[in-house]
């Protein structure tokens, strides 16, 4: 089932943006705990097991979030995923509004090192931009290394986290691969925000919600200091 007409803003905001936020919040807290591992393990009260359990839960949150972002569009359910958004752009190209913020869109495309042809399309033939942008993002996701990472991500989600299949241990994608996929998701949100949604998700090449997502991780240092 494709995204219903007029739902692009809600799918980006409540789907992609929300899951990117959960992912970056989980990974930043996970990393903050890891950076203070020696203090946690050596501190008064022996809270290593507690923080280890928190890291396990944060790993599940991060993997499930990125798996939702890169899920396959469902024939039965309107999943809020990138490929569903790309399908929407192609299928409703004539229904999309004119590009809202062409200058900011140009800066966003430059920051993600988009091909010159795509940048010119946004400027010279904006009516074709949605389809060309969708094709470009799909070409990135279809690169062999990313296809392998996405396959590993789906296996980890489907066989170990969402279900407990009787299989050998699943080797999921590396954290570096997840970071690479996340960057693509943020670029998609940033470009669509300037192109059609009149929302500044990206400014000066930076995803503006990252700092908000990372804010809870700052409390880890404060908490560890109090444990000492």
- Residue-wise pLDDT for 33-89, tens only, equals 999 988 888 766 678 889 999 999 999 999 999 999 999 887 777 788 999 999 999
CA distances from 84 to 95, 98, 205, 206, 207 (A): 16, 21, 24, 24, 21
Structural domains of the chain, count: 1
Tens of pLDDT, residue by residue over 111-142, are 999 999 999 999 999 999 999 999 999 999 99
Question: Taking Cα atoms as reference points, which of 82, 79, 80, 92 lies closest to residue 5?
Answer: 92
Q: Would you say 118 and 109 are in contact if contact means Cβ atoms under 8 Å apart?
A: yes
Q: Tell me, yes or no, whether 190 lies in a domain.
A: yes
Q: Tell me, yes or no, whether 66 lies in a domain.
A: yes
How many degrees, rounded to 5, is the angle at CA 145 between CA 143 and CA 148? Answer: 105
Phi, psi angles (nearest 5°) of residue 227: -70, -20
Query: How many residues can be counted in the chain?
Result: 228
Rounded distance between C-alpha atoms, residue 138 and residue 150, angstroms: 13
Q: Which residues contact 192 (CB under 8 A, 6 or more apart)?
A: 8, 12, 85, 201
Range from 33-37, 67-71, 92-96, 211-215 carrying the lowest mean pLDDT: 92-96
| Residue 65, token pair as written in the block | 């979030």
Domain range for residue 155?
A: 8-227
Q: Tell me, yes or no, whether 103 lies in a domain.
A: yes
The pLDDT of residue 3 = 52
The pLDDT of residue 1 = 47
Q: Tell me, yes or no, whether 74 lies in a domain.
A: yes
Question: Taking Cα atoms as reference points, which of 130, 60, 38, 50 lies closest to residue 90?
Answer: 130
Q: Tell me, yes or no, whether 201 lies in a domain.
A: yes
Split at pLDDT 50, 70, 90, the class of 101 is very high
Split at pLDDT 50, 70, 90, the class of 168 is confident
Q: Tell me, yes or no, whether 3 lies in a domain.
A: no
Rounded distance between C-alpha atoms, residue 184 and residue 169, angstroms: 28
Q: Tell me, yes or no, whether 2 lies in a domain.
A: no
DSSP structural state of residue 16: I
CA distances from 213 to 26, 142, 163, 210 (A): 8, 28, 28, 5
Q: Tell me, yes or no, whether 1 lies in a domain.
A: no
Is the pLDDT assigned to residue 102 strictly greater than 90?
A: yes
Rounded distance between C-alpha atoms, residue 107 and residue 103, angstroms: 6
């Amino acid at each position: 089932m494709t995204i219903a007409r007029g739902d692009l803003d809600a799918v980006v905001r409540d789907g992609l943006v929300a899951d990117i936020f959960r992912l970056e919040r989980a990974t930043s807290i996970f990393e903050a705990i890891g950076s203070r591992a020696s203090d946690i393990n050596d501190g008064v009260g022996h809270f290593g097991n507690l923080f280890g359990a928190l890291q396990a839960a944060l790993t599940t949150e991060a993997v499930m979030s990125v798996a939702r972002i890169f899920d396959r569009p469902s024939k039965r359910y309107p999943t809020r995923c990138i490929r569903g958004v790309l399908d929407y752009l192609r299928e409703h190209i004539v229904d999309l509004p004119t590009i809202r913020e062409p200058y900011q869109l140009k800066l966003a495309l430059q920051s993600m090192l988009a091909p010159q042809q795509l940048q010119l399309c946004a400027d010279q033939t904006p009516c074709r931009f949605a389809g060309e942008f969708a094709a470009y993002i799909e070409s990135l996701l279809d690169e062999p290394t990313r296809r392998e990472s996405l396959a590993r991500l789906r296996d980890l989600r489907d066989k170990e986290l969402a279900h407990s299949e009787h299989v050998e241990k699943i080797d999921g994608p590396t954290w570096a691969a997840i970071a690479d996929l996340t960057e693509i998701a943020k670029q998609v949100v940033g470009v669509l925000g300037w192109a059609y949604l009149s929302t500044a998700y990206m400014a000066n090449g930076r995803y503006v919600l990252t700092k908000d997502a990372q804010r809870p991780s700052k409390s880890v240092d404060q908490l560890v200091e109090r444990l000492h």
